[in-house]
Structure 1
Amino acid sequence: MPAHLPLLRADCAACFGLCCVALPFARSADFAHDKPAGKPCANLRADHACGIHTDLRAKGYAGCTVYDCFGAGQRVSQVTFGGRDWRTGGEAHARLMFEVFPVVRRLHELLRYVTEALALDAARPLHPELRRALEETERLAAQRPEELAVLDPAAHWHEVAELLLRASESAREGRQQSRDRRGADLAGAQLKGADLRGVSLRGACLIAADLTGADLRHADLIGADLRGADLTDADLTGALFLTQPQVNAARGGPGTRLPGSVVRPVHWAASR
Structure 2
Amino acid sequence: MPDRTAVRLDLRGDCARCFGLCCVALPFAASDFALDKPAGKPCPNLRGDHRCGIHAELRQRGFNGCTVYDCFGAGQQVSQHTFGGQDWRTGGREHARRMFDVFPVMRQLHEILWYLTEALDLPAARSLHPDMRAALERTERLTRQTPEELAALDVAAHRQGVGVLLERASERARKAVRGKRKDRRGADLAGGRLKGADLRGVSLRGACLIAADLTGADLRDADLLGADLRDADLTDADLTGAFFLTRPQVDAARGGSGTRLPGSVTRPVHWAAGH
With normalisation by structure 2, the TM-score equals 0.97
Deviations 1:173-202 (A, max 9, x none): 131463110000000000000000000000
Counterpart residue number, 1:189:
192
Instruction: Check if 1:172 corresponds to 2:174.
Output: yes
2 CA distance for matches of 1:16 and 1:239? 33
Counterpart residue number, 1:76:
78
- How far did 1:271 drift? 2.3
Partners of 2:221 and 2:240 within 8 A in 1? yes
SS in 1 for 2:80: helix
Q: Cα gap change, 1:201/1:177 in structure 2, threshold over 3 Å: closer, same or farther?
A: farther
- How far did 1:121 drift? 1.2
Counterpart residue number, 1:127:
129
1 CA distance for matches of 2:262 and 2:99? 34
Question: Structure 1: which 5+ runs fail to align?
Answer: none
> Which residue of 254, 264, 268 maps to 1:265?
268
2 CA distance for matches of 1:130 and 1:238? 19
Counterpart residue number, 2:50:
48
1 CA distance for matches of 2:176 and 2:38? 48
Question: Structure 2: which 5+ runs fail to align?
Answer: none
Q: Cα gap change, 1:42/1:270 in structure 2, threshold over 3 Å: closer, same or farther?
A: same
Instruction: Check if 1:26 corresponds to 2:29.
Output: yes
Counterpart residue number, 2:19:
16
With normalisation by structure 1, the TM-score equals 0.98
Partners of 1:237 and 1:257 within 8 A in 2? yes
> Which residue of 131, 147, 153 maps to 1:151?
153
Counterpart residue number, 1:234:
237
2 CA distance for matches of 1:207 and 1:232? 15
- How far did 1:61 drift? 0.3
1 CA distance for matches of 2:265 and 2:79? 24
Partners of 1:186 and 1:209 within 8 A in 2? yes
2 CA distance for matches of 1:221 and 1:155? 21
- How far did 1:27 drift? 1.4
Counterpart residue number, 1:107:
109
> Which residue of 40, 59, 64 maps to 2:66?
64
Partners of 2:124 and 2:176 within 8 A in 1? no
Q: Cα gap change, 1:177/1:136 in structure 2, threshold over 3 Å: closer, same or farther?
A: farther
2 CA distance for matches of 1:153 and 1:54? 34
What is the count of residue pairs matched by the alignment? 271
Partners of 1:169 and 1:177 within 8 A in 2? no
- Percent identity of paired positions between Structure 1 and Structure 2: 74
Runs of 4+ in 1 over 4 A off after TM superposition: none
Counterpart residue number, 1:198:
201
Partners of 1:177 and 1:200 within 8 A in 2? no
- How far did 1:5 drift? 1.1
Q: Which moved more, 1:139-148 or 1:168-177?
A: 168-177
